[in-house]
Amino acid sequence: MIGIFDSGVGGLSVFREIRKLLPQERYIYFSDNAHCPYGEKSREYIIDRARQITDFMLKEGADIIVVACNTATAAAISTIRSEYSTPNDHVRRLTSGRHESVSFIGMEPAVKPAAALTRTGVVGVLATAGTLKADKYRDTKGRHAEDVQVVEHIGQGFVELVESGQTTGQKAESIVMESLEPLLDAGADTIVLGCTHYPFLSETISKVASCLVPDRPTTIIDPAPAVAKHLHKVMQEQNIIKREGFALTLHASGDDSVLKQMAEALLYEGLPPESL
Ligand code: DGL
């Protein structure tokens, strides 16, 4: 079983891509919406949430865990990797001896492909405050974006829009415009979506970009397909692809109505709704 978690519904944008490559697996998705957003929370707080969610998912039967959240990846993945990825009694207890170790697959803002794609030489990154200030992001930028200019902006209010299911319309457009305009003004023609909630705003982001810079096409990059590919490869290597038939179990620490609605909408794209 594949475990996927995020501070909210954002990780469903990653699940959508994973399901394309691994359609016959069982999934458990956890939305930590009672503690959302993670963007402004401390590292310690997010590590604690990641531990609790990991324990829950292992007990439920997860064989591998996707941290489908850039903020949680930046804050917590190295800690939880070292705590759960080496053989230890805690993991064996939670998994009734099933695992010696558990792998975590994380998110990373797609600065590398963006640097290769930009024609203006300016890449824009939209992410949360937590992701943008993390060492992990700075390292990525330092390694992959030496030859381009990278401009960043917090997607202010984006997570709240997606969590409330308002991904299109006038309100969404004006909130998106506030954070996107400075990046486009700086010359960015390639926008990296550095938060898993933001792909649900892609349509609005494209619309606002083509309104603000009608003569310059804007490319939007979502790292989810690359993460899905990586997960698939790791699961092949570990021989844990089970093909037991698709199933998705949804859990939320808060109200689960938007999660259910959005997951159902994704499943209608290609799978029978009774799997929910
Ligand atoms: N979906 C998240 C991310 O990828 C976190 C959003 C938040 O809770 O602030 O960063």
The SS3 assignment for 40 reads coil
Residues whose CB is less than 8 angstroms from the CB of residue 181 and which lie 6 or more positions away in sequence, other chains included = 212
What confidence tier does 270 reach under pLDDT thresholds 50, 70, 90? low
Find the mean pLDDT for residues 200-223: 96
Mean pLDDT of 170-191: 98
Lowest mean pLDDT among 112-116, 206-210, 259-263, 269-273: 269-273
Q: Is 39 touching ligand 1 by the criterion CB < 6 Å?
A: yes
Q: Whose CA is nearest to atom 9 of ligand 1?
A: 39
Alpha carbon distance 82, 138 (integer Å): 21
159 lines ligand 1 (CB under 6 A): yes
Cβ atoms 84, 101 nearer than 8 A:
yes
Residue 10 in contact with ligand 1 by CB distance below 6 A:
yes
pLDDT at 99: 80
Kindly report the three-state secondary structure assignment for every residue of 74-115: HHHHHHHHHHHCCCCHHHHHHCCCCCCCCEEECCCCCHHHHH
Which atom of ligand 1 lies nearest, measured to the CA of 40? 9
Q: Is the pLDDT of residue 45 over 70?
A: yes
Give me the pLDDT at residue 268, please.
78
Confidence at residue 89, expressed as pLDDT on a 0 to 100 scale: 84
Distance (Å, rounded) from C-alpha 64 to C-alpha 91? 12
The CA distance from 167 to 235, in Å, is: 33
- pLDDT confidence of residue 273: 45
Contact 177, 209 (CB under 8 A): no
Task: Say how far apart CA 105 and CA 83 lie, in whole Å.
Answer: 14
Q: What is the pLDDT of residues 73-95, one digit of tens each?
A: 999 999 999 999 777 888 888 88
Average pLDDT over residues 102-111: 94
pLDDT of 215 > 60? The answer is yes
Minimum-distance ligand 1 atom for the alpha carbon of 195:
4
**What ligand 1 atom has the least distance to the C-alpha of 7?**
8
Confidence (pLDDT) at 276: 45
- Site of tokens 């695992």: 99
Does the structure show a pLDDT above 50 at 196?
yes
Q: Is residue 274 predicted with pLDDT exceeding 60?
A: no
Q: Cα(7) to centroid of ligand 1, in Å?
A: 6
The CA-atom distances, in angstroms, between 109 and each of 82, 224, 249 are: 22, 10, 27
Whose CA is closest to 12, among 197, 253, 172, 163? 197
Distance 129 CA to ligand 1 centre (A): 9
Average pLDDT over residues 29-52: 96
Reported confidence tier of residue 2, pLDDT bands at 50, 70, 90: very high
Residue whose structure tokens are 């324990």: 55
